[in-house]
Chains A and B, each alone.
Chain A
Amino acid sequence: MTTALILLPLVAALLVWILPLPGRAAGAFALLVALAEVVLWAIAVAGFDFAGDLQLVDRQSWFSDLGVSYHVGFFGFSLWLAGLTVVVCAAAIGYGLWVGRERARAYHGLMLFLTGAIVGVFAAQDLLLFYVFFEAMLIPLYVLIGVWGGPRRVAATAKFVIYTMAGSLLMLASIIAFGLSQGTFDLVESGESGSTWMFLGFLVAFAVKAPLFPFHGWLVDAYRESPPEVSAVLSGVVSKAAVFGLLRIGIAKFPEPVDDLQVPILVLAAIGLVYGSLLAFRAPDVRGVVAYSSMGQMSLIVLGLFSLNELGVNGAILHSVAHGLVSATLFLLAGMIELRAGGTSDFDVLGGMARGRPMLATLLMTTGVIALAVPGSAVFAGEFLILAGIYDEGWWWAAIGAGAIVLAAMYMLRLISAVLHRARGAAVAAEPRDLRGPELALLVPLVALLLVLSAWPASIAERSIPASGAQVEATP
């Protein structure tokens, strides 16, 4: 089952590349596969026992002399992250089809490949396999940004790749050290390690991916220059690989170093939260706001993870899924706004878009209000759990987190009013064009999922932790 989830998009990617389909047909095929992937995931969830341990396991020896195997399976929390992946990727592929990307076969093949690689990251139960998928995500992302991105894409990809690879190569060194000292690279069989250096190698890789302050240098260029749907995947899903890694490897395998370094990590996360939120408040365009808010929210998630108790980790998982959906929706919306404003999302030339565009206004408003954590929303539930968890470690952490939620309200409302309200901006056409059917078909399911999650956050919060494989304190 897990193998099917990983292989379906990868095989489909090969087919798209090899078969001489016309562009539209390739896109339609890719979308069909992405939807089949969602169905496959739903079947997996239906048969999943959320009270149990690792499930849906497939295992096959890869090379035995160093104890490396193809070992995949899902915990409750990683299954949710995989679900986020398949949904967001399907929406992104749909967006690419709707926009009609040039060189459609290459493009859609890469998107499918990316989907498979991300699902693989969340399923991997062997360190080397995890690394393989982790790096495999980078390959399609590099091309997707570098070929289909904005005008400064080449510089953005260089920065993105150098940051990411510097982090992940340090992780490779740590993986080798950890695996050889344990005698196996298997995450289930290996024990714990007390080496701070090894932990730091992992930490840097995940801190770059998240990104955590001060490793966020690549973030805004990559998010601005990517095609919007790739930004959606990047901020909504790829960043969550860091969450998986920190929980499944960092916290689970390095209890002592985590204990020692808890406070410094929390400090970095707190700085990232406040700094990212402030930058989002000052950003001059829609994408900038969403990019920096993404950095702030990821910091908040790290804050939850490193509260090291069940409440905080639960909140972090719930918030990962909610933030993934929010940020993907916002990036797709940003793309649609850009299409209506001559390719720019600068606040200077936007404004007054609510007039005559009820659908756009409603969807942006709904997503924005969820993003600023209005009580009753999924984001609110996640943040509440995180704050409750981190309160245990000291009230001041919770105070910082609560302060950042106020900042979130400020930047989100600024974004909403700058785009929708005020006088009509210079780049906004006088003759309004609202969202069309295909656009609605992409966005409405995402927003609907957010509303479902808002109504029933316990669906995830109560179904992730008992099986994370990490040792965290039980709820007091």
Chain B
Amino acid sequence: MIDTPHVDWLALAPTLALLGAAGVALLGSVLVPASVSRGFAAFVTFAGFVAAGVLAGIVFAETASPEELLAESMTRDRLAALAALILAGAGALSVLVSWGERRRDHAGEYYALLAAAGAGMVFFVTASNLMTLFLGLEWFSIALYVLCALDTHRETSLEAGLKYLIVGSFGSALLLFGSALVYGATGELGFAAIAQAGVEDELLLAGLALVIAGLGFKASAAPFHMWTPDVYQGAPTSVTAFMSAATKVAALVLTLRVLTVAFPEQEDLWTVAIAVLAVASLAWGNFAALVQRDLKRLLAYSSVSHAGFMLIAVAANTELGGRALLYYLIPYSAMSIGAFAVVAARERELGAPATLDNLAGFGWERPFLGVAMWVFMLGFMGLPLTGGFVGKFYVFSAAYDAGSTWLVIVGVVATAISLYYYLGVVRAMYMRTDDLRASTQARPVVAGGSPPRDPLLATAVAGALAVTVGSFFFVQPLIDVARDAAASLPL
């Protein structure tokens, strides 16, 4: 009789639900009649994300204090549960956005991969040792590489997939090398054990630097963001929507976990390193976004700059910082998916990539989507009536509280710069003068008849809108949840 470790099935349940959904969706594409297989896959995936969300909610409620699982390779705590909840929400919205993409082939694979990527991320955020960390990272990354390249008839999609694969693998390699160095220095893999080893030498520091760089790739923090604009632009828009929200949640939550749990002794160093990454992301993301005409590229650079804002919260290395990050992720995910959903809607109308030029008049033609996009832009800018405002307020408060007033100033200046391009989107939607419209020769939308109806996409946008605005009014419950989650970390 072999001794098996005790398995905490509840802690694994969100991951398993998504894995199961992926399997069923994949099998369905073979077994279910072709006429309904797309609907079947989408439904199963949606149900998988919802189930994962519910289960994550149960884990959150049932877990008062953190617990190490499976030979300390995973943690069951509220941080991971909250992250899983956000990821599940992001995944469910992405399924709704995906439906209207009239995908002729690979429908089953598409949804199965989406669920598999979600499962990988939900697993990734529970990681509490360097092996599971790498395993989770590769798990969701490989699923995403394929998703990016899934539109095989589009050259840009293939390019995006390849670019993401190469650059992403490079990031993973850095992370793996860093993990090896940390293991070499301490002889430990578990995060808590690394901290307890109490080693302080160059090897460990080199490992720490490489781990930060590897996670920086996934969070698309400058200067590790080079892949972001190309991949966001080339990938199918519904995949971009999912990636922009979910990858960021997973990468940032794990960055916070690794740094605070495994490297508390080196905090003087990594808080500075993270602050530098934050400033670089804010500067690079915002300046590059100023000159973009393609909407997906613009939003890609905007996501780089938001990585900067969230890293400010990580750099604070305080309980308030953790709370700020976890709060920020909620409206940010909603805004990001919502904005890409609107882009997807415009692309489907035009049959061409959405740019600032062919957005002219969109706000008046599609009042609901226009207003929603307006609100998402307000949220990105951090203006009131959106959770983006409260998020920025918390991030800046955390930075000020931690004594880095200069980060507040950098953040404020970056916000001021970002107004130009976010308002540029609004201007393009609502304020094109007639002569300008003639000069850019915006083509009339779908010839004859109204634009295609897509109730599921509208539902996803409405959901994102509800979270974006709702998180402004109901800060207290969300911040309580964020506080509980941040309490799992030794901050």
Using a CB–CB cutoff of 8 Å, the interface residues on chain A facing chain B are: 17, 61-66, 103, 128, 131-133, 135-136, 138-139, 142-143, 146-147, 151, 153-154, 157-158, 161-162, 165-166, 169-170, 172-173, 176-177, 179-180
Contact = CB atoms under 8 A, between A and B. Distances in A.
Nearest to B323: A65
A170 B389 contact: no
B141 interface: no
B400 A172 contact: no
B416 interface: yes
5 contacts: A61-B476, A66-B394, A132-B384, A143-B426, A173-B409
Interface stretch (B158-166, B206-214, B427-435): B427-435
B397 A176 contact: yes
Nearest to A137: B384
Contact of A139 (B364, B378, B396, B408): B378
Contact of B476 (A63, A135, A139): A63
A103 B364 contact: yes
Interface in B387-410: 389-390, 393-394, 396-397, 400-401, 405, 408-409
Given A147-B430, A161-B419, 5 more contacts: A63-B476, A132-B384, A138-B383, A172-B396, A180-B401
A154 B433 contact: yes
Interface in B436-491: 475-476, 479, 483
Interface residues of B, number: 34
A176 B396 contact: yes
Contacts of A173: 396, 408-409, 412
Contact of B415 (A128, A131, A169): A169
A143 B401 contact: no
Contact of B412 (A65, A66, A172): A172
A61 B476 CA distance: 9
Nearest to A17: B371
A103 B389 CA distance: 29
Leading 8 A-B pairs by shortest Cβ distance: A132-B384, A63-B475, A169-B412, A146-B431, A135-B384, A63-B476, A173-B412, A176-B396
A65 B430 contact: no
B431 to A, nearest CB: 5
B431 A136 contact: no
Contact of B400 (A65, A157, A176): A176
B420 interface: yes
Contacts of A62: 475-476
B423 interface: yes
B27 interface: no
A385 B403 CA distance: 45
Contacts of B479: 63, 65
Contact of A136 (B384, B400, B409): B384
Contacts of A128: 393
A161 B423 contact: yes
A142 B425 CA distance: 13
Nearest to A148: B431
B401 A169 contact: no
- Of the listed residues A139, A158, A162, the one surrounded by the most CB atoms of chain B closer than 10 A to its CB is A139
Interface in B52-81: none
B385 interface: yes
Given A61-B476, A139-B378, A165-B416, A66 B397 contact: yes
Given A103-B364, A132-B384, A135-B384, A176 B393 contact: yes
Nearest to A64: B476
Contacts of A64: 476
A139 B364 CA distance: 17
Contacts of A170: 412
Contact of A142 (B397, B415, B423): B423
B437 to A, nearest CB: 13
Contacts of A103: 364
Contacts of B433: 151, 154
Specify the main secondary structure of chain A where it touches its partner: helix
A185 to B, nearest CB: 10
A154 B412 CA distance: 24
A154 B360 CA distance: 14
Contacts of B385: 132, 136, 139
B420 A162 contact: yes
A66 B395 CA distance: 12
A70 to B, nearest CB: 10
Contact of A180 (B400, B420, B423): B400
Contacts of B371: 17
Contacts of B412: 169-170, 172-173
A409 B427 CA distance: 41
Nearest to B479: A63
B430 A146 contact: yes
A154 B420 contact: no
Contacts of B427: 146, 154, 157
A128 B393 CA distance: 9
Interface string B360-396: 0000100000010000001000011100011001101
Nearest to B472: A132
B419 A165 contact: yes
A28 B402 CA distance: 53
A179 B364 CA distance: 41
B403 to A, nearest CB: 11
A176 B476 contact: no
Interface string B81-108: 0000000000000000000000000000
Contacts of A172: 393, 396, 412
Contacts of B409: 173
A9 to B, nearest CB: 15
Contacts of A138: 383
A173 B396 CA distance: 8
A133 B389 CA distance: 12
Contacts of A147: 430-431
Contacts of B483: 65
Contact of A135 (B383, B397, B426): B383
A132 B469 CA distance: 13
A143 B393 contact: no
Nearest to A172: B412
Contacts of B389: 132, 135
A161 B378 CA distance: 13
A406 to B, nearest CB: 40
